[in-house]
């Protein structure tokens, strides 16, 4: 009884102390003669020198994956130094840590925000989180990893697809000579090179869905991180009936569903996709994002970031 009482008293004291601390920085008595903020804050050198280029400050997953662009997007340490870890981003990263370690976590996530709301930035955060860089070199990440209770999974295979950068109208020749046509061909090749591509080659050549082969592929190369940006922009180019190497709009939808299912049932595999929000009502095959169907089936979790 006495011990319980003591515990309550200590608890109260600790809480009162914390309250005091959190008010302290804002309480103070401002002195006269403070400098205006414009004299205290210095803008980023690019802005100050007038060399500011909007394009340089646009988060671009494709560029980063190609090793191009400015350091603040390309370099994992610099990226996290400039990243504000919002509640949504923290949740996304924590879930990804769990999923790729095989300790739970959501397998399929579709990011939803308004234009410029941070979808690409969130995808980049995952790309860098699993880049093989130690948490101590990623500002803000060490604490997040500690809170999540699992270390960053090692040797994660990453596959990146950016819809605005890939033409569905032609085959894409890889440095090892592999010719890729479809999104599934691209993902397989990025995860495991020629050998992985061979497993689904026929489906890539015929632009048909690889079905169960996807799950087997993910299991073989796990942990796998699949990041898809601007998927809708890509799907829009697949007009019905057109004979494109990448397949039709319908095959894309079926693939989105098959991909979600495969990722869900495979071990240590995570799919994160971003697509611009849907217009209120449009007609024809351009409606919705390729994961909308699977989201409706409960396969994809829609997350605001
Ligand atoms: N958490 C964050 N910390 C720091 N910068 C951020 C953060 N989230 C977004 N940004 C920055 O805000 C800008 C817009 O974000 P981003 O490009 O990721 O949005 P988006 O949702 O992908 O936009 P769009 O719909 O146009 O594709 C970018 O310059 C990005 O780097
Ligand atoms: Mg974007």
Q: Which is the CATH superfamily of the domain at 54-304?
A: P-loop containing nucleotide triphosphate hydrolases (3.40.50.300)
List the residue whose alpha carbon is closest to atom 9 of ligand 1.
118
Total residue count of the chain as it appears in this document = 305
Whether residue 46 contacts residue 52, with contact meaning beta carbons closer than 8 Å, is answered with: yes
| Residue 223 preceded by cis peptide, ω within 30 | yes
Q: What is the pLDDT of residue 23?
A: 62
Ligand 1, pocket-test mutation among 54, 89, 120, 277, most atoms within 8 A of CB: 120
- pLDDT value for 100: 98
Tell whether ligand 1 has an atom less than 6 A from the beta carbon of residue 86: yes
- For ligand 1, whether the C-beta of 113 sits within 6 Å is yes
SS (H, E, C) 78-137: HHHHCCCCCHHHHHHHHHHHHHHCCCCCCCEEEEECCCCCCHHHHHHHHHHHCCCCCHHH
Of all helices (H) and strands (E), which one includes residue 288? none
What per-residue confidence (pLDDT) applies to 21? 65
pLDDT score of 240: 64
Residue nearest to atom 20 of ligand 1 (CA): 116
Query: Taking the domains of the chain in order of start, what are their residue ranges?
Result: 54-304
The H or E element containing residue 232 is helix 231-235
Q: Please work out, in degrees rounded to the nearest 5, the angle formed at the alpha carbon of residue 264 by the alpha carbons of 261 and 268.
A: 140
Which pLDDT score, from 0 to 100, does residue 204 have? 95
Q: What is the mean pLDDT of each run of 10 residues along the chain (305 residues)?
A: 66 72 65 82 75 69 93 95 94 97 96 81 97 97 96 97 91 95 96 97 93 95 97 83 80 88 96 65 45 44 59
C-alpha of residue 119 to centroid of ligand 2, in Å: 5
Which residues neighbour ligand 2 (ion) by CB within 5 Å? 119-120
């Amino acid at each position: 009884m006495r011990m319980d009482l003591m515990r309550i008293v200590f608890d109260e004291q600790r809480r009162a102390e914390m309250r005091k601390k959190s008010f302290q920085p804002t309480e103070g008595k401002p002195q006269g003669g403070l400098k205006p903020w414009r004299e205290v804050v210095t803008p980023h050198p690019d802005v100050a020198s007038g060399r500011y280029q909007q394009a340089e400050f646009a988060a671009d997953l494709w560029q980063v994956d190609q090793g191009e662009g400015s350091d603040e997007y390309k370099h994992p340490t610099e990226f996290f130094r400039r990243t504000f870890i919002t509640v949504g981003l923290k949740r996304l990263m924590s879930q990804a840590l769990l999923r790729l370690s095989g300790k739970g976590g959501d397998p399929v996530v579709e990011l939803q925000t308004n234009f410029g709301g941070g979808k690409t930035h969130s995808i980049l955060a995952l790309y860098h989180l699993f880049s093989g860089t130690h948490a101590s070199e990623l500002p803000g990440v060490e604490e997040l990893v500690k809170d999540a209770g699992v270390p960053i999974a090692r040797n994660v295979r990453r596959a990146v697809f950016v819809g605005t950068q890939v033409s569905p109208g032609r085959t894409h020749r890889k440095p090892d000579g592999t010719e890729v046509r479809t999104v599934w061909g691209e993902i397989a090749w990025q995860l495991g090179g020629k050998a992985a591509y061979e497993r689904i080659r026929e489906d890539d050549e015929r632009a048909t869905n690889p079905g169960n082969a996807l799950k087997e592929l993910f299991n073989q190369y796990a942990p796998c991180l699949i990041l898809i940006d601007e998927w809708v922009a890509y799907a829009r180019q697949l007009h019905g009936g057109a004979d494109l190497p990448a397949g039709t709009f319908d095959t894309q939808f079926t693939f989105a569903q098959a991909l979600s299912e495969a990722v869900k049932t495979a071990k240590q595999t995570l799919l994160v996709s971003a697509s611009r929000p849907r217009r209120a009502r449009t007609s024809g095959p351009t409606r919705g994002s390729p994961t909308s169907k699977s989201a409706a089936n409960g396969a994809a979790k829609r997350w605001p970031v």
